[in-house]
Chains A and B, each alone.
Chain A
Amino acid sequence: MRNPAALLAAAEFDPAISVDGLVPGGVVHPESGEEVAALLAMCDQHKFTATPVGGGTKLALGNVPPKMDVAVSTLGLGGVRAYEPSDLVCSLGAGARFGDVQAVLAEHGQTIPLDAPDDATIGGLVATAIAGPRRLGNGSLRDLLIGIEVAHPSGTVTHGGGMVVKNVSGFDMPRVYHGSLGTLGIIVSANFKVLPLPQRETTVVGTHQRLNEALAAARRIRQSRIMPLALEVSRSGDGWSTAVRIGGHEATLDGAVLEVQRLLGHDPQLIEGPESSAWWRGYISATDLRLEHDAALLRLSVRPRDVDTMAEGAVGALSQLGIASPVVAISPGLGQVIIRLEPEPADAHDRFLTARDVLSALADHAVVLAAPPAWKRGIDVWGPAPATLPVMKALKEQFDPGGVLNAGRFVGFI
């Protein structure tokens, strides 16, 4: 293990890495869990804050940090550490790129069925818990995560779970870290269940002029015998599209495709095989957190039965307010809507705040996934503090009493 003090002293200033416009004092590149732990212990001792950074695809998530001393790059913790295709499990370094991992798994006809950018890292995907449309059919990483290794500000590296698909040996630590935004420790590696790739996959896209027609089509799919991998309603040009991704057995998909076509109506488009996955890559890129100009990305969620009302209410309200929403991605089965807001530059900040208030009132939870720092300041992007906040604060206190990790960025400014 290299000396943590020397690593800190050698930390370089890298303007390419920034969170909400703040550039960390230096970026360190540890190569093992022990090095991460030693670095964090040193940060704890010197009252530095530390921000884990992987592929940098989701740095926009979270509240504006009060300060950023050290960024800890996980890219040196990469690689496929273990992969047993016959056991349907793998162990991945936190810095492994999602696209690289998928390529290795695909050689064995297997996959981690998640929609994420290729350059995202495994650690970042676990820490941010942002899942894509396939969460409907395959669950999120929460459902696939079976083991984890984490470095803490106490200077220790701990393990939870293991490399078996079923495990109740002690508390479910992996789930605690999933979605914790690196506030309890920095993920060093993670183990997953993998799934066989469907023998064949097809996407059927129907177009509708009006939102309620597109939502009705989605409802017909949800009530049918078809169990799609993904089902999404989204703004598409002047109208709306309902996209259904189905996968399964080579010989039997045709019947399901015909049924989906019939349920969607209006002569839907068929997208087969590799073009189907390409279509979905395009689809998720519209909700990428890396926004290039003054825009905001909001995620609203309710119980699925209420999603039509929420979606129509949100679209209607935004049009009344005169705020452009070029991207509206609705996941009816998940009860979720992701909206990109692009308010007029004049008083854009005020308009954003108004829109957020109006949209939050329609949802059980409304999270600002990404927005310019000026818009984020003064609000909790995660929404009102939950009743469970005292337990969450106590948890943070147990794992990071010095407030080293991503201080201030999580729920309730934890």
Chain B
Amino acid sequence: MDRSALIDRLIAVCGERGVFHTRSDLMVYEYDGSVDGSVETALPVAVTLPTSTEQVAEIVRIANLAGLPVTPRGAGTGLSGGAVTQDGGIIIALTRMDRIIEIDREDRTALVEPGVINLELSETTTPLGMFFAPDPSSQRACTVGGNVAENSGGPHCLKYGVTSNHILGLEVVLPNGDVVWTGSTPAGAPGYDLTGAIVGSEGMFGIVTKALVRLTPNPQSTLVQLAAFPDLDTASTAVSRIIAAGILPASLEMMDNLTIQAVEPAYHAGYPMDAGGVLLVETDGLIEEVAALGEEITAICKNSYATEVRSATEKAQRDLLWKGRKMALAAMGRLSPNYYLHDTVVPRSQLPATVARVREIGDEFGIEIANVFHAGDGNLHPLMLFDRHKPGDVERVLGAGKEIINWCVSVGGALSGEHGIGTEKRGYMTMVYTGEDLAAMAGLRNAFDPGGRLNPGKVFPKGYSCGEVRALRAQAIAQKHDIHPV
């Protein structure tokens, strides 16, 4: 199929307005939320914007006929390069499939299309007494489909869990164009947990066209407390003590002084400018319980050398305290023209040592690093400040990023807590996984997509095609048991 025949067929499915194919239109889709230079990208052959499951299935079949790979895409807010193509192919942008099909108040579920924006879902359901718990920082723009692909987190994961804990079932277009449902009851359908496998599969197993999501009841009461500490060590100690006291807050966020310097002048959230670290603790639940926990948290923070603890229960005040945290990324523009937002996880007890090491790495590479993190789950987000027009800055930032990952892995951490691997971190996969571990992942992928047509080039180290993974596995087995592969 030549290019113009392909475009004609896609237009026949999606209509003129549903297919982009001019160079200037396609260039927009070469980008996502990731930092230029941290991921590889290529111009797609065409971008399609289907409005129904049938159209998605038909595009997938056409792509198969044309022998082209397919990359699904939501709002393109991802930070690891998951929504850009590696070597051309067809992008299926799901942003026009944005209907909330059904809200079930009794079961507290919503059936949504993948293009529904995360925050819009919660804003629609909050007046009905419930919300969609995953709340990544990009929630004003990112889509539920993207959340499913990346298994997105957010500040409230500590208590409520990540996206995977909130997906009950998925309608999926498989790489061969078949449409299936993976589950629908909370008890789960018999058989392998395909819903669980697809969430976080970075668009490589199937294209989600509907999701049945769990909604969480609005808490009766919510308390946000801001505690200021002389430094990050004292703040980290307070975090450990809160957890040790058996308290599981809805979220436990930390920011360092550099972040405070950026956000306070911009948003006037009331963060003390001289604090070495600020802790934002949100507790929610029954009125009595929240009040009691608030007092305990205040006492723990004061005993951990907090210089100030402020509490807010009214929504406007709570929102103000949160504003500094939620707008931290936006505020970085005050400090530096560009930033590279990193995402790694360490066991919570390793946070103080990790923070110290991140500081050292910043010094070694001559980069300023601001720190915001989900302290409750040990998920850190070093923000590396740089100027892309300064020669060598991008390289230094990427170098520092790798060092941070090295450290996190060495203390038992992981490559990514919520941003995914994509192309950004695929080169690091062998730091935490053996060839055999990767072969198992490749086996899972092969079960869904034996041809490797869906979002190729992601997650696995570059050049690690499925065939090679199989060969590696055979080699490993042969070495182990001295059996020669046929």
Chain A 28-52 interface mask (CB, 8 Å, partner B; 1/0): 0000000000100100010000000
Assembled-state Cα–Cα distance A27/B332 (Å): 62
Decide yes or no: A41 and B191 within 8 Å by CB, A86-B244, A109-B246, A303-B107 being known contacts.
Answer: no
Among A67-75, A167-175, A285-293, A339-347, the stretch in contact with B: A167-175
List the A residue with the shortest CB-CB distance to B191: A411
List the A residue with the shortest CB-CB distance to B220: A225
Assembled-state Cα–Cα distance A306/B197 (Å): 27
The residue that B194 contacts in the complex, of A89, A166, A383, A388, with Cβ under 8 A, is A388
Q: A172 to B248, Cβ gap below 8 A?
A: no
Most chain A CB within 10 A, of B161, B184, B286, B346, is at B286
The residue that B190 contacts in the complex, of A41, A160, A302, A386, with Cβ under 8 A, is A386
Task: List, in ascending order, chain B residues with CB within 8 A of A302's CB.
Answer: 185
Q: B192 to A335, Cβ gap below 8 A?
A: no
List the B residue with the shortest CB-CB distance to A225: B220
B371 at the interface (CB under 8 A from A): no
Give the number of chain B interface residues (Cβ < 8 Å): 90
Assembled-state Cα–Cα distance A199/B285 (Å): 15
A248 at the interface (CB under 8 A from B): yes
Q: B184 to A156, Cβ gap below 8 A?
A: no
Assembled-state Cα–Cα distance A165/B414 (Å): 10
Q: B446 to A252, Cβ gap below 8 A?
A: no
List the B residue with the shortest CB-CB distance to A380: B190
Chain A 170-183 interface mask (CB, 8 Å, partner B; 1/0): 11110110111000
A143 at the interface (CB under 8 A from B): yes
B28 at the interface (CB under 8 A from A): no
Within 8 A of A (CB), among B238-260: 240, 243-244, 246-248
Rank and list the top 10 A-B pairs by shortest CB-CB distance, nearest first.
A175-B196, A196-B246, A398-B443, A252-B288, A395-B447, A169-B415, A411-B191, A301-B187, A394-B447, A382-B190
| Interface of A toward B, CB cutoff 8 Å | 38, 41, 45, 84-89, 109, 129, 139, 142-143, 150, 152, 154-160, 162-173, 175-176, 178-180, 184, 195-197, 199, 222, 225, 227, 248-249, 251-252, 255-256, 299, 301-305, 333-336, 364-365, 367, 382-383, 386-389, 391-392, 394-395, 397-399, 410-412
In the assembled complex, 26 residue pairs joining A and B whose CB atoms fall closer than 8 Å, in A order, are A41-B477, A86-B349, A129-B193, A143-B161, A143-B165, A155-B481, A156-B473, A158-B434, A158-B440, A168-B200, A169-B425, A169-B429, A169-B432, A170-B433, A171-B444, A176-B444, A196-B247, A303-B107, A304-B186, A305-B106, A335-B187, A389-B191, A392-B191, A399-B443, A410-B191, A411-B191
| Interface of B toward A, CB cutoff 8 Å | 104, 106-107, 109, 150-151, 153, 157, 161-162, 164-165, 174, 180-182, 184-194, 196-197, 199-201, 217, 220, 240, 243-244, 246-248, 285-286, 288-289, 292-293, 345-349, 374, 377-379, 412-421, 425, 429, 432-434, 436-441, 443-448, 450, 459, 473, 476-477, 480-481, 483
